[in-house]
Structure formats: structure tokens, C-alpha cells
Structure 1
């Protein structure tokens, strides 16, 4: 990668000081397949040792790069090979308790090396269940309750295979039980995925895919405040000019992310993986994707025109980022999580409905993300929401996801506080009518090839 020139450095410093530019996540992916062992205790020991060996210096190295470049890195994370693959032989020998031993070991390892989150408590069930997949899926609520940093994901659909509706329903059951065990908060570490990318740095859906290197660094960029400032300066510009300027800004942001990723990877002695170009908001004032959309031309995010504005933003981000790096991966679009984006949370209080949010997810990532619903929302309704997003993913071929939070004791209009970067959000209303489709078993097939 060519170095940043003087002009780019000056612009980057301005972005950091005045517009809240940061790198949202540096995630180290680690292959744990060589740790597989039929004895759960031996497997757990191998997992802890491997993570300590590969990631022991991760936080220190990232902080060194932060200081050298003056670029804040918000989260340091680890993603590992899906537990359903790593623990398969132990599960066959010892049953479902084996995978809980691994969950505990992963959480302990994450604490030991000092990362914020560790992803990979994952079941790949888009076309059926293995014994190990079932053990992971069945134990997700307990694993999340008993850990602090562990993130879980269930891949319920894929454009090549369609939607595993049995997996959708069982994932909804896991969401509901997790909410009950953790007063809702644990659901922020559980996500249902479609067309899951194997190299994303973002949680809760990060895992280290079997086609990835032994270890690699993936970086998630940020920059809503930077893009918002650009849009504000161009309030009278036509759409093509606006698109081009957002694209140029995304190019610069991506260059910063790639520079950070290369330096971290080099010092850790691992490969550089990819930059996820996704525009990721925070609850901080001015760091909102929703506010960018409103500056593009909406009275409030969620009103008519919101999907079109989001498409313009998403397309410009993808094109600008892709021009800046040949190593783009993950989701690489724009995130619209409700609780993590102060503008989205406000819009959900005023005009944004769950149905309009679903429509907007058809043109961006990740999907129904960090949405709070009443605690008494039926499992069938949660499953229907997951199935709808899976259908969008299968139909469009893009990654989609659902991270939904049934808040115990809360009703529509109440507020639910998640804390920190997870933010706060109003409890959104859901339809009283339930889907009855889950009386049927099986799969919804993939779309006919074009």
C-alpha cells in the first residue's frame, strides 16, 4: 500500500480532531481447528494457549499504532473458528456440556489478553444441523449468561441454499431465553445471520472462516461525523455532486483504516485481512448515520425518501472505499443500528417504524440491528422478523442480520438503556398478528439463478 501523502495526512488530522474520525474495530481472526480434541478440558486448554500465543500482544500493539498515527481505535477484538467446528469431537464424546466448557475458556482467554469482545460461538445451520451445531444453538442463552465478552451467532440462511426455517425458529427461541436470563442485555451479543461474511471485524457476527489464513487482522472503519460534515457543506449540491464528495471522503477514511490494519498485522507477524468499509455510528452526538440521511434531505429519518437517501449514501461509501483498497471485506455498507445511533433512536421515537426500518435494510447492512421490542413479544413474531431479513438477504445476495432485544417488562414507548457504545433506544411497537408459518418444518428454497 502506498503511503499517505502530506495533504491526506493534514485532512486526516482534521477529521480526527474536528469530526470524530476513528477506527471502530481492529479484530484479530484466529484459526482454532488445530486445537480440536475429544476431551473438553484438553480442548479448553489448547484454546486458551493458542489465543494467548497469537493475541497476547494485540492490545499493546494496537495502542502503539494509535499513538504513532494519532488515530483512535475504539475496540480491540478477536474472532475465532466457529465453535461448532472446533468442539465437534468433544461434543460427540461428552455431549452439550463440552461446548459450554469451550465458551468459558474463550471468555477467559478474551479477558486475559484484554480485548473487548470475542466472536465465534457460532452455528452454521443454513442448510441443516450437525450434532455440534445443535449443541451450540441450544446452549447460547446459558453461554451468554455465564460470560461477559463472548459473542454468539447463528447463520440461518444463505443465497445458495435458501432459508432454514427450523433454524430461524430455534434462534428466535434462543433470543427469547437469552433476554429472560440477562434482562435483555445479553441479546446485544447474539445475532442471526444470512450470507455471513467470514472476515468481518464487527460484533456480534464476527467469526474466523475456514477459508481464512491461520491468523489475520481485519479492520472496521467509521466516520459518520466526517461524512455528515461533507453533506452539510453541500446542502445546495445536486445528487451526483453529493455522491461524488461522499465517495471521496470514504476513500480517505478507508486509507486510514488500511494503514492501521497493515501496521498492526506486520507487528503481530500475521497477515492483513480486509477493511470493512461499513459506516458505523455511535450514540455520541454528531456520530449518526440517521443525521447524515436527514442532511441529505429528510425531515426525519424514517419518512418517505429514507430508503433512497440511504441507498445514495451506501453506494457512495462502497464505491469510495473499494477504490481505496483491494482488501475490502465484511459488510462494507452502512449500518443503521437503532440503539447505537442517537439519530436512529430519536427517529424511532418519532416516525420510524419497524416496517420502514425493514424496507431500509434492503439497501444496506446489517439489517434489523439493536432494535428493542416488548419483552412479551412472542417467539413466532421474533422468528418472523428474522425470516423476513433472511428473505431479503437470499433475494438480494447481500449479508443481512437480526440483532433484536426483547426487553423484559417493557412496553412500546418505554426507553431501554444498554449503556456505553450500545446506547439507548425506545421500545418499538410490533404487530399483534403472529406468523403461523412456523407450523411448517423445513426450508424456503434459494431464488432461481439469474
Structure 2
């Protein structure tokens, strides 16, 4: 039973501590849209998305008004488009027509992003996969709301190094294609190892092939709530600290569970998962870095940062799974540089480097996220960064990702403005020693020995 104390507590979290439901994401299967005729595929895709999602935005707004819970974004994820367009698309430009159809459908129903311009190539690439990947720079340059992701590796299959090499080139090409907007296209492009099928957060969301025809996934975020709770137990031991994080995560997840069930009922779409992720925003007090500093670090990046983040991530997950039987997605702590004022401050002070961020990705929920790097960074160096992150995910049996933005025309120390939730970022230095011979070997890095569990 929900009592008055809990209602007042939740209201305080919303009004003073930046608690929000970051997104309601409607996952839509497009498998029944496959056709060998490209025009028919585009028509089927548009009609299915606009038919199923026509009430999504209004439903989110209605729930927000009735319960007083901010629901920041309403989004759509679809089946990886490399699968849907494979029979009809013979060139990268053919795939771009599908990207434009997704964009048109997203605008029609009013969502801010649509994810699933994606390919799953952890073990090898089909011709369709390669065509879609090569189309990404043009697709992201010529659309507004489309997000793209590519899964390059997994603990079960190893790392597809041919795809890693290609994606380094595509990241740089996307930066070049959108250089008039400070290479903003790269903010809508992420590569994964062990990508989850039910992630509601962009830019990595896609609707997994094992999912139902349509599904409602909700992402909740509350770094400010956790930070405020920890300020009340300053100086206490780790047992008290962990209990406080768990209890707070429980309360936050319950809000997401409520919204997810309501959206599911009103849209007549099954409820999938709640993703409890401490996803920061540029807003003051809505920072994962500030949580780590509240735990006891002078600045994020100081010795002890990885241990503090590991503890935070684990306690968030433990609190979340007690609040909902269906916790999924990424769930944990995100460390995007441009979206977190505390991270930005740490970079500017010299406390946080790319190498320390990589170490932190071993224990966070995503990886190298929203990091601006010099625009003259070679494609092979970007591929090397991707390979390192894929290896962390593969060996540790966790999801890892890379979303870096080589800002064309800008160098270390300059700042790039993305606006909105994407924030702004200082351009960070990248190790200038080359890895070309390693990246150019080709082939696949095998799965680790502990992947054999059959």
C-alpha cells in the first residue's frame, strides 16, 4: 500500500531532486514489413509505426499530468533495419530511404528519437549489414530523429574486428558529414558489445528479435535523488552508504514501475522492463560525478573513483530488482561526459582523463559515452578505442559501448556545444601513438574461454 508519507517523499524527489521518468519507449517489431520491393517496405514500415505509436506521446503527457511525474521523452525503437531492409536494399542509398521513412514516422507521431537503424554483426557481416553500416553517415546527416547502433562483439562470439575497423571509419565519416553542426551525427551513433535487446535509452535502443510484436519499456533516472540521500549520511560507513543507495534506488524504480504499467494498460501494449539508470543531465544537481564526490572523492577521476563507481552501480541494481520483477535494459550508472556537469568540471580541472574513463567503464553500465575528441583523430585510432571497449565487455560478460564525437575542425581544449540533454563537452586528448597494424589485421578476436557454458 502507498501511504501519504511515500507520496510526499516522491513529490519532493520530483520538485527538488530532479527525479524523472527519462523515457517511455515503444518497441515495435518490423519483421512483418520485410519485402523485396523497397517502396513496399517503406510503406509498410511507415504505416506500422504510425499506427501503433499514434497515441504514445499523448498517453505519456496524460500520465505525467495525472500523477505529477515528469516524463521527459517519448521514443520508439524498431527491429534492426539491416534485417528489415536486407531483401530490398541493394545499395547504401537504398537503406537511407528507410532512415528517412523512420524519421518521417517519428515526426508524424511526435517522438523525439527513433532507434533501430542498426546492425548486429558480432560474429560476421551479411551484405545487408555492411550496406547499412556504410549508409550511416548519410542517413544521420539527412535525418533529425534517427539513432543508429551496431553490435560488434559479445562474450559468446568474440569481437568482429573487420566491423570494428569499418565502424572507426564510419564514425569519422559521420563526423565529417555533420561537421556544420559540430559533428552532431556522432551523438546519435553508438557501438556495443553485448547489446541488450530491451534498452529504452538512445542512441542504442533497438527492438530485439526475441521481443513481442510491440512492448513498452520505461527508463527512469534520478542522480539528484541519490546524491541528496547520500548527503544525509555523510561520513557514515560503507554499510550505511550501500543501504542508503539501495533504498533510494528502490523508491526511484517504483515510480518507473507505476508509469510503465499505466502506459502498458492505456496503449494496450505489454509491459517489458523498467531500466533504472542514473543517467545525468546538464542540470545542476543531476550528476553522477557529484554522487561519486559525495561518496568521498575530491573530484571524479581521483584514486578510488573506480571502486566508488563499482559500489554505486551494484547497489543501484540491487535496489532496482527489489522494486520490479522486470528490471532490464542497461540499469546502473551512466558516465557520459557532455551530459554531466561534474564530469565536465573534472575534465577541465585535469582530474579525469580518457584512460581513467576507460577504467571506469569496467564497472559502469555503458562505456565511453558522449566524449568529444579532436576532429583529426585517425579512423584506426577510433577503431582501437572501440576494440578496447569491446574487449572489456566481452571478457567481463557485460554491456559496453562507445559513443565518441571527433569534432571536425576542433582540437584539445576547445569546447563543443550540443544543446538540450546532450549538453556540451571539452575536446579531450587522445593517445597519439598509432595502432594501424593491429586494426588492419582483419578477422575476429575469439570468444574468451569462460564463454563456453553449454
Q: What TM-score range do you get, normalising by the shorter chain?
A: over 0.9
Aligned counterparts of 2:187 and 2:108: Cα–Cα separation in 1:
22
Query: 1:120 corresponds to which residue?
Result: 116
Q: What's the CA shift for 1:136?
A: 0.6
- The TM-score normalised by the length of structure 1 is 0.98
Q: Give the C-alpha shift of residue 270 in structure 1.
A: 0.4
CA distance in 2, matches of 1:353, 1:137: 30
Shift of 1:101: 1.3
Equivalent residue for 1:207? 206
Mapped contact 1:122–1:207 kept (Cα < 8 A):
yes
- Cα deviation, residue 236, structure 1: 1.6
Distance 1:96 1:190 in 2: 17
Q: Could you tell me which of 147, 157, 160 is aligned with 2:143?
A: 147
Unpaired segments ≥5 residues, structure 1? none
Q: Is the 8 A contact 2:34 2:87 kept in 1?
A: yes
Could you tell me which residue of structure 1 aligns to residue 448 of structure 2? Answer: 447
Any conservation in 2 of the 1:41–1:101 contact (CA below 8 Å)? Answer: no
What's 1:261 paired with?
260
Which residue of structure 2 aligns with residue 404 of structure 1?
404
Q: Which residue of 2 aligns with 1:222?
A: 221
Q: Return the alpha-carbon distance in structure 2 between the equivalents of residues 379 and 356 of structure 1.
A: 22
Distance in 1, Cα, partners of 2:24 & 2:175: 28
TM-score, structure 2 as length reference: 0.97
**Pick aligned residue for 1:28 from 20, 26, 29:** 26
CA distance in 2, matches of 1:95, 1:18: 51
The equivalent residue for 2:53 is 55
| Structure 1 residue 95 displacement after superposition | 3.4
Q: C-alpha separation between the residues in 2 aligned to 1:281 and 1:334? A: 9
CA distance in 2, matches of 1:221, 1:281: 11
Deviations 1:203-228 (A, max 9, x none): 01000001001101101110011000
Partner of 1:178: 174
CA positional deviation for 1:98: 2.3
How big is the shift at 1:5?
A: 3.6
Q: Do the aligned residues in 1 keep the contact of 2:63 with 2:262 (CA within 8 Å)?
A: yes
In structure 1, how many angstroms separate the alpha carbons of the residues matched to 2:210 and 2:113?
Answer: 22
Matches within 5 A, 1:234-273: 234-273=233-272
Q: CA RMSD in A?
A: 0.9
Distance in 1 between the 2:29 and 2:354 partners?
A: 37
2: CA distance between counterparts of 1:6 and 1:434?
61
- DSSP-derived class of the 1:302 partner: coil
Structure 1 position 437 matched with structure 2 position 438: yes
- Partner residue in 2 for 1:393: 393
Count matched residues: 446
Are 1:164 and 2:164 matched, yes or no?
no
Distance 1:278 1:197 in 2: 14
Match of 1:65 among 63, 66, 69: 63
Q: Could you tell me how far apart the structure 2 residues matched to 1:349 and 1:157 are?
A: 33
| Contact 2:334-2:364 at 8 Å conserved across structures | yes
Contact kept, 8 Å, 2:165 with 2:440, in 1: the verdict is: no
Query: Does the residue aligned with 1:229 lie in a helix, a strand or coil?
Result: helix
Shift of 1:4: 3.5
- Mapping 1:374-385, distance limit 5 Å: 374-385=374-385
Deviations 1:258-278 (A, max 9, x none): 100110111111000001111
User: For residues 232 and 425 of structure 1, what CA distance do their matches in structure 2 show?
Assistant: 27
Aligned equivalent of 2:132: 136
Structure 2: how far apart are the matches of 1:382 and 1:7?
50
Q: Secondary structure of the equivalent of 1:160? A: coil
- What is the alpha-carbon distance in structure 1 between the residues aligned to residue 227 and residue 211 of structure 2? 35
Query: Is 1:110 paired with 2:106?
Result: yes
